[in-house]
Structure 1
Amino acid sequence: MQLSNKQKNFLKAQAHPLKPVVLLGNNGLTEGVIAEIEIALDHHELIKVKVLGEDREERQAICDAIVRETGCLLVQIIGKTAVLFMNKPDGVITLPKA
């Protein structure tokens, strides 16, 4: 599923007041971190993940790996914080029409 610009803007507005629920540290992306992200996405649908590290390409690669492993959608990356969304049919968040 791809998000339209209208849907991304809607999700960005929804995510603005949120605090990061998962922090990736020096150990990087482990199976435990992936499991925590999946649990958070299942419970909240829309989460922020803080990815530490100074290299922008490395942070982007980690976010791409999270999307690949969990099946979620990357809404945006701002600095070291990624906004992730998991569309659920019975979820609380209803996306606007594309």
Structure 2
Amino acid sequence: MTRPLSSAERSLQGRNDWLREEERKAIESRGEIGRMEFWLRLTRSQITKEVKANRGDVVAGFTMVCRLFKLVVERRAGGDPRLFDHLMQYADTVLKQHGPRS
């Protein structure tokens, strides 16, 4: 028998369910571009909240992530897919371990 979820667990589960549903709707509406736009909107909103909470280093962190992604895309376009493949593998591993549960 499983115990009932705590208030915090129910809240987290509700948030994860909402994220999955909104992502699904974005994909249905605009495909992978819609999915990307959904996550960019959420990220921008979170960055704004972090800056207001005096955690402005989030801007530098996001900038570095964008620069990294640009670099690996350029390398792949130049014929070397290794960095892109490694980045995708790492991102998949992190999201499986720490992302919203399916």
Asked if these proteins are the same fold (TM beyond 0.5), I'd say no
Which structure's residues are more often strand, by fraction?
1
Which structure's residues are more often helix, by fraction?
2
Structure with bigger gyration radius: 2
The TM-score with structure 1 as length reference comes to 0.31
